């Protein structure tokens, strides 16, 4: 998934914001909390996508070739997709959507209500 496709998809999720920081990384947040990043962290100079995931997803994804524990964020159960050959763009979109849901779920009820995220 190219950076512009990543940005377009993240922008389509409810109540998201984007900042470019940490050496031109595209950082996506919900309620001020990060759920996905497109950056050049790690080996190589090409963009890599990182996202928060559930404990089980973290374990499974880290066993796949082309997916590693995300630099600086792995202890929080984040992965980094280093190769476009392992996960399809649809898979990546699904995991990013799950990341958005996980992070939004950690916001206070008041913050979720303010952002229109309560069901």
Residue-by-residue pLDDT tens, the chain, 119 positions: 899 999 999 999 999 999 999 888 999 999 999 999 998 765 666 789 999 999 999 999 999 999 999 988 999 999 999 887 889 999 999 999 999 999 999 999 999 999 999 86
| Chain centre distance of CA 44 | 19
DSSP assignment letter at 87: S
Q: Structure pTM?
A: 0.92
Q: Where are the alpha helices (DSSP H) in 13-118?
A: 55-61, 89-105, 109-115
All structural domains of the chain with their residue ranges: 3-115
Domain at 3-115: CATH code: 3.90.1150.30
């Amino acid at each position: 998934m190219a950076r512009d496709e990543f940005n377009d998809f993240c922008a389509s999720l409810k109540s998201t914001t984007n900042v470019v920081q940490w050496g031109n990384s595209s950082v996506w947040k919900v309620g001020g909390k990060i759920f996905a990043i497109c950056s050049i962290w790690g080996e190589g100079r090409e963009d890599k996508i990182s996202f928060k995931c559930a404990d089980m997803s973290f374990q499974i994804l880290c066993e796949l070739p082309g997916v590693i524990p995300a630099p600086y964020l792995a202890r929080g159960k984040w992965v980094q997709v280093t190769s476009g050959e392992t996960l399809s763009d649809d898979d990546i979109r699904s995991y990013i959507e799950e990341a958005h849901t996980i992070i939004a779920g950690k916001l206070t009820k008041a913050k979720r209500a303010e952002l229109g995220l309560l069901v």
